[in-house]
Amino acid sequence: MALSRGLRCCQRVFSWIPVLIITSVVLWSYYAYVFELCLFTLTSTLEKVVYLLVFHVCFGMFSWTYWKSIFTPPASPCKKFQLSYSDKQRYEMEERPDAQKQILVEIAKKLPIFTRAQSGAIRFCDRCQVLKPDRCHHCSVCETCVLKMDHHCPWVNNCVGFSNYKFFLLFLSYSILYCVYIAATVFQYFLKFWVGDLPNKPAKFHVLFLMFVALMFLVSLMFLFGYHCWLVAKNRSTLEAFSAPVFVSGPDRNGFNVGIRKNLLQVFGENRRLWFIPVFTSQGNGHYFPLKNQTSESQNPLLANEDMWEESDDGSEEGSLVEDQDPSVTIEMEE
């Protein structure tokens, strides 16, 4: 036990190394740009003021979104998806796999669960002892089930999922803006140092290296950001892009795709003024999502039953969503 705890402790310490690397590079870029370029190289006071003002806006938004991506805890399934004491006893005492599956099917009838495992069974996490909501997966690094899990990102040392996916997208976009701004404003001085128009001094190394680092990060970030924009447009997570979610009717990569506009609103929310601000505005609570074949609000648990669902968390076992579930799904589960 002591050895296992020691290994876990070391793993948690080492998991912060990528974050420390990014933080170190960003802090160095701040020093190189503010001091070596603006204060020690630029001669025009107006140019200094404009460069510094815009730079600090970009730096502030980048830092804010990076902080939110790192320190926003991944959302886990609520108590309604955990087995009750009696259900847990039944499940553990039952030795036959088919009977265990049937117990999970009976429990799932009370919940808005539409996806299945590859075998067609109800998705159940033995480690967390919860029925997995749609799009929920267990993260072995965070050691918990994460709602609408996209992936575990070592560069933020956190799971990217329902609670922080918007923050992660904004982090990528402001990182690109940060790199573009640095590259665009440093370029002319990069050329002057390169051809020798400016004297050799310590600022030369910082300016030259700043240009290379900004371009290097820009290229990689643009590919990653473009990929996630495509995922948002299709309403898929990274995991779903590699392995299609399975429904009662079979696998369907577009099962949650309800159109580009509605897909965007799911991530960024209705208030467009807050789209580019790292505050949580995503729709729903991560436990259920509109399906491609559920377009009306009366069929959509995310919109029609959200308040009812949240009110039923006070200990009621039956859950109010049962009444509004698609009857065809319930029939197929019973079969």
Dump pLDDT digits (tens) for 46-57.
Answer: 999 999 999 999
Q: Flag whether pLDDT at 187 surpasses 70.
A: yes
* Whether residue 36 is found in the same domain as residue 60: yes
Q: Residue 145 falls within a domain, yes or no?
A: no
139 is catalytic: no
Q: Based on the fold, state whether residues 166 and 200 are members of the same structural domain.
A: yes
Task: Tell me, yes or no, whether 165 and 209 share the same domain.
Answer: yes
Q: Number of helices and strands (H, E) in the chain?
A: 12, 9
Assess if residue 160 is contained within a domain: yes
On whether both 87 and 211 belong to a single domain, the answer is: no
Q: Dig out the tokens for 208 from the structure.
A: 């030259």
Q: What tokens does 249 get?
A: 């009717």
Name the percent of the chain in helix, strand, coil, to the closest 5: 60, 5, 35
CB distance 162 to 139 below 8 Å = no
- Are 275 and 173 in contact, with CB atoms under 8 Å apart? no
- Of 200, 219, 238, which residue is a domain's last? 219
**Mean confidence (pLDDT) of the chain:** 86
Percent of the chain whose predicted confidence (pLDDT) is above 70: 86
Reading the block at residue 153, the tokens are: 């990102």
Q: With H, G, I as helix, E, B as strand and everything else as coil, classify residue 248.
A: coil
Please tell me whether residues 64 and 95 are part of one structural domain: no
The CA distance from 310 to 80, in Å, is: 10
**Do 62 and 166 lie in a common domain?**
yes
Q: Is residue 144 part of a domain?
A: no
**Domain co-membership, 48 together with 103:** no
Which residue is catalytic, options 153, 159, 179, 229? 153
3-state secondary structure at position 153: strand
Q: Where are the beta strands (DSSP E) in the chain?
A: 115-116, 124-125, 130-131, 137-139, 144-146, 151-153, 158-160, 246-247, 250-251
Domain end marker among 199, 219, 239: 219
Domain range for 90 is 79-132
Contact 67, 19 (CB under 8 A): no
pLDDT of residue 175: 97
Task: Compute the distance between CA of residue 78 and CA of residue 310 in angstroms, rounded to an integer.
Answer: 10
- Residue of higher predicted confidence among 203 and 18: 18
**How far apart, in whole angstroms, are the C-alpha atoms of residue 92 and residue 185?**
64
Among the three residues 169, 196, 219, which one is the final residue of a domain in this structure? Answer: 219
- Nearest partner of 73 among 125, 135, 124, 144, judged by Cα: 144
Average pLDDT over residues 136-164: 95
If 0-12 CB within 10 Å is exposed, 13-18 middle and 19+ buried, where does residue 220 land?
Answer: exposed
- Are 10 and 27 in a shared domain? yes
- Supply the pLDDT for residue 199: 76
Rounded CA-CA distance 158/142 in Å is 8
Pair (32, 84) in one structural domain: no
Which positions ≥6 away from 181 have C-beta within 8 Å? 54, 55, 58
pLDDT attached to residue 168: 98
The pLDDT value recorded for residue 306 is 47
Does any domain span residue 113?
A: yes
Residues 68 and 15 in one domain: yes
Distance CA 301, CA 296 (A): 10
| Residue 121 buriedness (CB in 10 A; 0-12 / 13-18 / 19+) | middle
| Reported confidence tier of residue 335, pLDDT bands at 50, 70, 90 | very low
The amino acid that residue 60 corresponds to is G
Q: In sequence order, what are the residues at sequence separation of 6 or more whose Cβ sits closer than 8 angstroms to the Cβ of residue 24? A: none
With 60 as the cut, is the pLDDT of residue 298 above it? no
Inside any domain, residue 197: yes
User: Would residue 247 count as lying in a domain?
Assistant: no
Burial 294-310 (b: 16+ CB within 10 A, else e): beeeeebbbebbbeebe
Q: For residue 173, is it within any domain? A: yes
**Mean pLDDT, residues 111-129 taken together:** 90
**Would residue 298 count as lying in a domain?**
no
Rounded to an integer, what distance in angstroms lies between the CA atom of residue 108 and that of residue 128?
A: 16
Residue range 71-107, pLDDT digits in tens: 999 999 999 998 888 888 888 888 788 888 888 888 8
- Do residues 170 and 64 share a domain? yes
pLDDT tier for residue 3 given thresholds of 50, 70 and 90? low
User: pLDDT at residue 284 above 50?
Assistant: yes
Number of domains in the chain: 2
Residues 51 and 83 in one domain: no
Question: pLDDT of 123-145, one tens digit each?
Answer: 999 899 899 999 999 999 998 99
